[in-house]
A and B are shown apart, each in its own frame.
Chain A
């Protein structure tokens, strides 16, 4: 059984009197412990799909099955309990966190809200989470705005794994990081995946990272699936127009200077 099955998902927005279909009849599935990537240009619907899967946005049509349940039908306590299994990491953790919070507070919230650890137990759990993502426990009292961007994204990952999720939506989660930090965060994500068997819905505009990280990829164009399949096969030989355009546009290290043309 798939971990997540999305069927015929559709979301329309009204913008200046016009109806824009941001996500148009999209279906896909994610298996336990695998990474599925969503890639596409701006406005192709990547982040809207993330919001729909997380139920931050309600769809106009379609069905989402998560861990065997009709996720869109869950309400109240059942929905809250299931949310612990479905977590998220966004591009900019500074925007995602309360800017006045400390690192400890950011990690204390999910442990408390989901009733995972008692008050007395939580400091120890927070220290363990920090250690799990490669941070020192003495970072806990620091303000979230004081630490570096790479440290903040590690805290965001610690917050996401605090509730024991089976799926994490990573929406451009490494896009704003310096390249030297990005590699470390990708290593951490892979390590967590192999240890805890967490599946990732990895949303990125960067085909190089997608190809290196994901098993399968879906290429989106204007809210529709243009192409999908094995990540390396799709990116090495794209069949769709958008796939070819994305591959052609990806920056490549050039060893020789080209003449201006």
Chain B
């Protein structure tokens, strides 16, 4: 299971990459593995205001339908347009081409509450 350093992680298995006040959000390698083949990703519209910890979209796999939870509050700046036609990208490249949304972080303090790669790995291992 991949779990790159330098990303923020949530206990709901989202990751966030912070660059100049913008957080790129996706789901972790562990999450995509647990979900199995992803067949549909429902994302919010650009401009939607998100709240930390609240659902921003839905990921549907052959096994289940799960909510996606926002790691931070802020406005959605961009969504990954490729996921509509190629949802499998979430499986093949969870940390790169499978990114989901970019959010303008409204409260940088929220990021401090998120998990480091090390802490997230610990959390995942506790689930097994």
- To the question of whether A and B form a pair in one complex, the answer is no
